[in-house]
Each structure stands twice: as structure tokens, then as C-alpha cells.
């Protein structure tokens, strides 16, 4: 009798309390003539609401604040500790299980992330159409020629609304218009000619030798005993080729290093079709982060790559120390609010585990060129996440903000406390030159955090030498610098840097060279302008490896002095 009453209660909720979401496909996405086969499965990701987010948030801000005792005395959280803090309520899990089971989904085929935050289930599209009252269809991007499967509407029982953040894939379309790399290429025979050039000059092209000198890395090399790990994310059929990497290290890097770096591969890698983005990221990560264990992490799920990446990350007992992401999507092209909230939830947990996540801001300035697309400026996610270090781009030998470098203020993300003072200073100092107030949300998360060179990188793809530009070139360079600094920390018996942003903002003037020239165009405007201190074009400026080392030493010295003072008082 009890089971009957409970069953009746659930049925009543399912029938009478439903919420509905309907959207139109964004620009360039069109329905494909092909209809998904009735026997086709897709992985569906259910993001559950998790417990104690405020507790985790407070703890994370304390252990990442160099001026707090916990920064020195507390390690980053382990996966088991994360599980104990945030694991979803059992009621949420049971309600989701019931919803799936009552609609004929085999729960044995579903997999939970280790902390319970994500449940992924392979579901027939015909069944998904039925249980979500959806109409899953193949869509093709007219420019990029990529296919995905989405629905323009779905219905979810209202009784799940307090237990699930979002389901993916549903109505969120990826924005493929970002990160436009400017590329020219020549035959591979010209590589030998480039070897005679001054590889340490910024004239003509950017090469690893110049970057090592420019960012004060010089000949620093990580020691194998520190086991520092850096993962380069590859999405959208981006792969790497060993021959390309070896050619790059021999002819363009040309550092005469006797130790040949080894690339670890996580996921599928098709060496016969190397991609320019993945090749660029891996080649420069190896050249800059010498001695670091570099992994190419290939995400082959084209339909929902971010969910696949986050699910894998959540299940890693020993995740990488640093992750570099050169991909993203515009915040305002779709209604990404729930999807961003779900991803933020996972990124926050990664930050609490001491993982440094670096993301390129994108290459669309403050927004699209069309006025129709620009009722307001917009920035890109995941760079806009407060748990990510956002990397913008600079250009020219005298270094100024790159006109294409995405920067500004988030529409959805609240401005984190660690950057509020510097952002307020910029808004007050340059009040007279700011864009119109209705174009941006001055209270939103502000990006970029830092900036590095983003133009004229030489790399090799499929045996051809190419020149590549974009913030996606800058992100892996910064990630590589942090990897070397992690090595420095571990060598001195200190914890890995982990979530960086509070440290970067507190010691900005000691770590960075300020860049005060440049602007980022978009929406038929000149966007924001660079200035003294933080700005929405170049962030805090360009980092210096040596200056960063000195800051870490000074922080450690202060802590030792504080401990000694306490001991003497006792």
C-alpha cells in the first residue's frame, strides 16, 4: 500500500507539474535533412544539484588566499574530501533514478561521477523524445560543416527542478564562431630556411626561444622527480602528429635539448589528420614546459564535449596539475545560464582539488561585428568562470593589447571578490572613455586575468610550417609557465599553486609587467581600452617567471617569520 501511495504521488507530479523550455536555433545552425536513426543512442548528462556549495566556496577562498594561514597550512582537497562535502542529497538521486527507471531507462547502463554530481546514461533518441517530450534532430553548422543532435524544446517534471541543474544535450548549441586563428602556410622545405633566422627575435614570427626570454623563463627546466603534469585539451576532431612535433622541436624550437620529450595520450588520437589548434598547443607546451609531463587529452564526443571532459575529470583520482583549454562559446548567443551553472559547479570542485585551469578568452573582441548581434557586449565561457584563469592576447614587439582579444564583463557570472578592487579602479579611472553603460555588466566577472603574445606563432601541421594567431596560442604558454612554477614550488617543499586567481590579483604589481596600450574591437565599436593596472583588454598584464618566483619565495618567508614569532611568544 505504501508503494502505491508513493507511486501515485510521483505520477501526479509528472502529469500535473511540468516546466517547458523552447528556443530557436542560433545563427548558422540549420536542420539537417538526415533524421537520427531510431536505433541511435546518445549519452545524456544529468547534472545534479550538490550540497554545501557555500561551504566549499568559503573554504576554497581561504586556502587560495596567500594572506590567510590556511594557504600554507592546508593542502588542496582530495577527491574523497570533495565527495564528503558536495555529494548530492539522496533524495535528489532517488528522484532522478525513479524518473529514469519509470521511463524504461536501464539504470545498470548509467554511470555516476565519483562524487555523484553527474549521471550519464546512454539513451535511445526515440526514447529521449518520448520521456522529454522532445524532438531530437541533427543540425549542421553551415560554415564549419559540423553535425550535432539537439532539440528545440523539452519538458521536464517540475519535481526534479530543485534536484537537477540541467540536462545535456538539450537546447544548448555550441558557438563555433570563436577563436578565429589567422593562418598562412608554406611547404615544409622552408622549415630549414627558418633555422637560419634569429629564433630569439620577435621580428616576423614568434618562436619558443623568444618566449622563454620574454617571460624570463630562460633555461629553467622541471625536474622529473616533481612529477608535474600538464594536460592540453583537444576538442572538435583536433589531433596531433608525432612527426610534426619532432620537426617543430628540431627546427623551430632548436634548443639542442638532449632529452626528447614524451607526449602522453589520453583518449583517441588520429595522427593522419593533425589539427592546427591541437598541434600548436602541444608543440609550444613541450617547448616551454621542459621536463613537465605533458598529456594530450583528446575529447572525441563531438555532440557534448564539455560534459564528456568534466565527467572524465570528476572521475580522476589523480588529475593533472594544470589544464589548458583553447576552446569556448559565447555567453549570450544562447541561454547558457543553467549550462554554465552546471559547468561552474564542476570547475569549482576542480579548483578545490588544486587543479589550475587555464582558458583562452577568445578572438572576437567585445562581440560580433554585426550590430544585430550586439545589443550588448559579450564574453566567452569557460574563460568567464571565476574558477578559471582567463588568458587574453597581445601583439607587436612593443606589446599592446591585441584588437581581437576577447575581454569585458560576464552577463551571468558574478564578479568574484578577488578582483573587485582592481576592476572598480579601472571603472573609476577611465570612466570618461568607457563604452555606453548598457553595453556591459560592470558587476560581472571581468576578463582577462592575464595576457600573453597571441600573434604570428610558428608551428607545424601535417609537415607544413604555419603562422598562427589567437588567444588559443597564449593559453598553453601561460599554462606551461604555471607548470614550471609548480615544479619550483614542489622542489622547495611547498604545495602546488592550484587555484591561482587570488594570488595573481594580490601580487599583480610584483608578478606582471603592465600593458597600457591597445583596445579590443567588436559590435562596430573600439570596445574597451587598456590602461594602468587591470583592464578588460590585457588583464593584469604579462607575467614574469622570475618575478613570480620571487613572490612565492617572499610569501613563504613571511609565513616562516610568522611561525617563528608565534613560537617565540609561546
Q: Indicate which residues carry an active-site annotation.
A: 277, 281, 472
Instruction: Quote the DSSP letter at residue 15.
Output: H
* Residue 5 assigned to a binding site: no
β-bridge partners, 522: 525
533 belongs to an annotated ligand binding site: yes
Closest CA relative to residue 162, chosen from 95, 83, 82:
95
Collect all residues with Cβ–Cβ distance below 8 Å to 257 and sequence separation of at least 6: 249, 290
The Cβ of residue 284 has, within 10 Å, a number of other Cβ atoms equal to 30
CB contact at 8 A, 422 and 535 = no
CA–CA distance, 205 with 182 (Å, rounded to integer): 13
- The Cα 415–Cα 425 span in angstroms is 14
**In whole angstroms, what is the distance from residue 527 CA to residue 448 CA?**
14
Letter string b/e over residues 466-480, b meaning 16 or more CB atoms within 10 A of that residue's CB: bbbbbbbbbbbbbbb
d(CA 382, CA 542): 21
3-state SS string for 146-215: CEEEECCEEEEEHHHCCCEEEEECCCCCCCCCCCCCEEEEECCCHHHHHCCCCCCCCCCCECHHHHHHHC
* 265 within 8 A of 231, measured Cβ to Cβ: no
Question: Could you give the CA distance from residue 463 to residue 459 in angstroms, rounded to a whole number?
Answer: 10
344 assigned binding-site residue:
no
Rounded to an integer, what distance in angstroms lies between the CA atom of residue 552 and that of residue 487? 12
3-state percent helix, strand, coil for the chain, nearest multiple of 5:
35, 25, 40
The verdict on whether residue 304 carries a ligand-binding annotation is: no
Q: Nearest to residue 147, comparing CAs of 266, 42, 296?
A: 42
Please provide the distance, in angstroms rounded to a whole number, between the alpha carbons at the two ends of the chain: 67
- Binding site members for Ca(2+): 514-515, 533, 535
The binding site consists of 514-515, 533, 535
Amino acid at each position: 500500500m505504501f508503494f502505491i501511495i508513493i507511486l501515485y504521488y510521483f505520477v501526479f507530479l509528472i502529469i500535473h507539474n511540468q516546466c517547458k523550455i523552447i528556443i530557436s536555433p542560433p545563427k548558422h545552425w540549420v536542420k539537417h535533412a538526415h533524421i537520427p536513426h531510431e536505433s541511435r543512442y546518445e549519452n545524456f548528462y544529468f547534472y545534479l544539484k550538490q550540497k554545501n556549495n557555500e561551504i566549499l566556496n568559503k573554504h576554497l577562498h581561504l586556502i587560495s588566499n596567500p594572506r590567510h594561514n590556511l594557504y600554507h597550512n592546508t593542502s588542496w582537497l582530495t577527491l574523497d574530501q570533495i565527495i564528503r562535502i558536495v555529494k548530492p542529497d539522496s533524495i535528489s538521486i532517488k528522484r532522478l533514478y525513479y524518473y529514469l527507471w519509470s521511463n524504461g531507462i536501464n539504470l545498470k547502463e548509467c554511470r555516476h561521477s565519483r562524487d555523484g554530481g553527474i549521471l550519464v546514461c546512454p539513451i535511445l533518441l526515440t526514447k529521449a523524445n518520448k520521456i522529454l517530450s522532445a524532438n531530437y534532430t541533427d543540425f549542421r553548422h553551415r560554415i564549419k560543416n559540423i553535425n550535432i543532435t539537439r532539440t528545440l524544446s523539452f519538458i521536464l517534471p517540475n519535481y526534479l527542478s530543485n534536484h537537477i541543474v540541467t540536462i545535456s544535450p538539450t537546447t544548448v548549441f555550441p558557438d563555433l564562431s570563436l577563436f578565429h586563428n589567422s593562418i598562412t602556410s608554406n611547404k615544409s622545405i622552408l622549415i630549414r630556411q627558418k633555422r637560419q633566422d634569429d629564433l630569439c627575435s620577435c621580428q616576423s614570427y614568434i618562436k619558443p626561444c623568444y618566449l622563454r626570454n620574454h617571460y624570463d623563463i630562460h633555461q629553467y627546466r622541471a625536474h622529473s622527480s616533481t612529477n608535474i603534469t600538464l594536460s592540453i585539451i583537444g576538442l572538435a576532431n583536433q589531433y596531433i602528429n608525432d612527426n610534426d612535433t619532432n620537426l617543430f622541436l628540431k627546427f623551430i624550437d632548436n634548443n639542442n635539448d638532449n632529452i626528447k620529450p614524451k607526449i602522453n595520450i589520453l583518449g583517441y588520437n588520429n595522427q593522419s589528420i593533425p589539427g592546427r589548434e591541437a598541434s600548436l598547443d602541444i608543440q609550444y607546451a613541450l617547448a616551454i614546459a621542459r621536463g613537465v609531463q605533458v598529456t594530450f587529452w583528446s575529447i572525441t564526443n563531438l555532440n557534448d564535449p564539455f560534459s564528456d571532459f568534466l565527467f572524465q575529470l570528476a572521475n580522476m583520482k589523480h588529475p593533472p596539475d594544470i589544464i589548458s583549454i583553447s576552446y569556448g562559446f559565447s555567453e549570450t548567443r544562447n541561454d547558457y545560464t543553467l549550462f554554465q551553472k552546471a559547468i561552474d559547479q564542476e570547475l569549482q570542485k576542480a579548483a578545490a582539488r588544486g587543479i589550475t585551469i587555464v582558458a583562452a578568452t577568445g578572438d572576437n573582441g567585445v562581440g560580433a561585428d554585426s550590430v544585430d548581434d550586439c545589443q550588448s557586449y559579450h564574453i566567452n565561457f569557460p574563460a568567464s568562470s571565476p574558477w578559471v584563469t582567463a588568458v587574453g592576447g597581445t601583439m607587436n614587439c612593443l606589446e599592446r593589447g591585441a584588437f581581437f582579444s576577447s575581454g569585458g564583463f560576464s552577463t551571468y557570472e558574478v564578479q568574484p571578490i578577488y578582483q573587485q578592487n582592481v576592476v572598480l579602479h579601472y571603472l573609476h579611472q577611465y570612466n570618461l572613455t568607457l563604452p555606453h553603460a548598457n553595453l556591459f555588466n560592470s558587476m560581472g566577472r571581468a576578463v582577462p586575468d592575464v595576457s600573453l603574445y597571441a600573434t604570428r606563432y610558428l608551428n607545424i601541421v601535417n609537415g607544413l610550417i604555419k603562422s598562427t594567431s589567437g588567444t588559443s596560442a597564449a593559453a598553453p604558454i601561460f599554462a606551461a609557465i604555471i607548470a614550471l612554477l609548480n615544479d619550483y614550488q614542489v622542489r622547495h617543499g611547498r604545495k602546488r599553486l592550484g587555484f591561482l586567481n587570488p594570488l595573481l590579483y594580490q601580487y599583480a604589481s610584483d608578478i606582471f609587467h603592465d600593458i597600457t596600450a591597445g583596445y579590443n574591437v567588436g559590435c562596430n565599436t573600439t570596445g574597451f581600452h587598456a590602461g594602468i593596472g587591470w583592464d578588460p583588454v590585457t588583464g593584469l598584464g604579462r607575467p614574469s617567471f622570475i618575478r613570480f618566483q620571487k613572490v612565492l619565495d617572499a610569501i613563504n618567508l613571511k609565513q616562516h617569520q610568522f611561525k617563528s614569532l608565534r613560537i617565540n611568544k609561546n
